[in-house]
Amino acid sequence: MRKLFRHPFLVLFAFLLMAFNGISDKIAEAFKAGDSAGLAAYFKANVDLSILEEDDLYSKANAEKKLATFFQNHPVSSFSILHEGQSNNGLQYTIGSLETSNGTFRVSFYVKEENGQAFIQQIMIDEE
């Protein structure tokens, strides 16, 4: 254990990994509940949102409305995380499967950390 603390980078990396897993789990819970407001709590002022064939940069409020409409039209029955990792440009990403009453959708979201806080930068929802 003492050897671990001799390497501050490893301690910092472990802390950041735990912090990301926490936000990833909270975002997954919001998807599971079809909770657009819960997702919007992790948006910055603008978020890149792609739902099926619609893709644009939306304000936090408009992105929440788009997600609310999607969840209203596709009531969620479950959400499961399939894969998590880090992109080449340093964004943490999660890929999941969203089961709804109207079919299964592949969900990807990218999280960026700024000033010690993690924010959703991009969400993509596509038909499987």
Residues 21-78 have pLDDT tens digits of 467 889 999 999 999 999 999 999 999 999 999 999 999 999 999 999 999 999 999 9
Q: For the residues 79-93, what does the mean pLDDT come to?
A: 90
Asked whether the predicted pLDDT for residue 94 surpasses 70, the reply is: yes
Question: Hey, CA dihedral for 93, 99, 126, 117, is it positive or negative?
Answer: negative
- Is 27:109 a contact under the CB 8 Å cutoff? yes
For residue 10, pLDDT over 80 is answered with: no
Please check whether residue 118 is in contact with residue 112, taking contact to mean a CB–CB distance below 8 angstroms: yes
Query: Among all chains, which residue has been given the structure tokens 């499961």?
Result: 80
Residue 82's alpha-carbon distances to 5, 15, 41, 62, 101, in angstroms, are 32, 22, 23, 28, 20
Domains of the chain: 2-127 (3.10.450.50)
In angstroms, rounded to a whole number, what is the distance separating the alpha carbons of residues 103 and 114? 35
- What's the rounded mean pLDDT across residues 106-125? 93
